[in-house]
Chains A and B, each alone.
Chain A
């Protein structure tokens, strides 16, 4: 079986096979880079919704439109994994501050706070 030509476009731009994950130096650079981002795909955003599924340090948030999103707790998040199951048991409504992650269909949660129901 012939391998696909290297010119096949890749969604993330140019690479057929993912590279090794970046080294710690570029991770430090990545973190500071994220902090500086005020706009663009890696900027910090906010989402409100209900915590529906929790597994280890990952949780699913169902927003008001009924769309579910998968979140990972960032390594420097203000929350520990063991604080997530009580939120799921209560089906708590929260506001999450998050950034997107490259090459991953998930969002990285940096902080969480209680949110009230939207006005009817």
Chain B
């Protein structure tokens, strides 16, 4: 009777429609998978992470790394003029070894075995790479903070000041790793939303962390260093915006855009992009045009921090949704989405 074979019709229950009313992500394209699913059941398993805890760690870790990096840059270029900024940078970099590591251990399901993370260093696992980045960043930032604090109490021992300065560079380098390795961690999974755009997500996470770091360092700063920090924040936010456009385009092309049609997708658009990127860009521009208004800069800083945190949490939650939706995961694992070039790395 009908043209279609019985073999092309799936089980009785079609997949559940997305919660948002809009069904299409682009005109002429159906957001839904028109092939079979297995009773609408998920084909993948979503990550068992608590999105607030792990998203919070990604935000704090990125903020700490960026603060260490920018603190080092400020110290090397502006010297004593930037001393309060550098001090603030060291304090912020301590967030990673304390609160950040605490959040990670809390999210383990057998937390008493947290030290097993240090058994291996596996280049194929960003979680293993990240463990060592966190360890080395924590070591250098704690060394730098301790040496710098000690040098204030014991000014007659110059080696303390020199140690604090020397520790800045490795802290900055590992801090750069802290800002962006978490995107590689999310991409090296089979969750469609995270796996679809690994490079642009890494740029987003890195530039969002740098913007957050610059924003946190510049808030309350009344000197000339504050102007420079505001410019850095503006530049980082612009990079973030560019990466956001690229990743959303990639999501549409690979077919995972329906995962962003729900509540978390809306939060990502309004919270992360709107409140967290566009609004502060406007506020920083306005502030710099008036020769830096501290009030506007502080407002922009708060918005940047909120947006950076919202970005991580909403991407993680939307990713979980993409894993739980077979229509999205089957669209992602179509043969046309296979990488064109064979990877040179990890040849077996």
Contact = CB atoms under 8 A, between A and B. Distances in A.
Interface of A: 1-3, 20-21, 23-25, 27, 75-76
A24 B47 CA distance: 11
Contact of B324 (A1, A3, A20): A20
B48 A24 contact: yes
Number of contact residues on B: which range applies?
Answer: 10 to 19
A3 to B, nearest CB: 7
A3 B50 contact: no
A75 B50 contact: no
Contacts of A25: 50, 52
Q: Identify which of A2, A24, A27, A76 gathers the most chain B CB atoms within 10 Å of its CB.
A: A24
B12 A1 contact: yes
Given A75-B109, A76-B112, 8 more contacts: A1-B12, A2-B12, A3-B12, A3-B13, A20-B46, A24-B53, A24-B107, A27-B109
Contacts of A2: 12
Nearest to A27: B109
Contacts of B50: 23-25
A75 B46 contact: no
Nearest to B51: A23
Interface in B79-117: 107, 109-110, 112
B49 interface: yes
Nearest to A26: B50
Contacts of B46: 20
A84 B291 CA distance: 70
Interface string B146-166: 000000000000000000000
Interface of B: 12-13, 46, 48-50, 52-53, 107, 109-110, 112, 324
Main secondary structure of the interface of A (DSSP, over half): loop
Contacts of B324: 20
A24 B110 CA distance: 12
Nearest to A21: B48
Contacts of A20: 46, 324
B13 A75 contact: no
Nearest to B48: A24
A75 B110 contact: yes
5 contacts: A3-B12, A3-B13, A24-B107, A24-B109, A75-B109
A21 B13 CA distance: 22
A3 B107 CA distance: 38
B115 to A, nearest CB: 14
Contacts of A75: 109-110
Given A75-B109, A75-B110, A76-B112, A24 B12 contact: no
Nearest to B52: A25
A10 B135 CA distance: 49
B326 to A, nearest CB: 14
A120 B110 CA distance: 41
Contacts of B109: 24, 27, 75
A1 B11 CA distance: 9
A3 B110 CA distance: 39
Contacts of B107: 24
A20 B112 CA distance: 25
Nearest to B11: A1
A24 B49 contact: yes
Nearest to A80: B113
In order of increasing CB-CB distance, the 6 nearest A-B pairs are A24-B50, A75-B110, A75-B109, A25-B50, A23-B50, A24-B107
Nearest to B40: A17
A1 B13 CA distance: 10
A94 to B, nearest CB: 22
A61 to B, nearest CB: 22
Contacts of B49: 24
Contacts of A21: 48
A24 B48 CA distance: 7
A75 B50 CA distance: 17
A113 B12 CA distance: 52
A96 to B, nearest CB: 19
A25 to B, nearest CB: 6
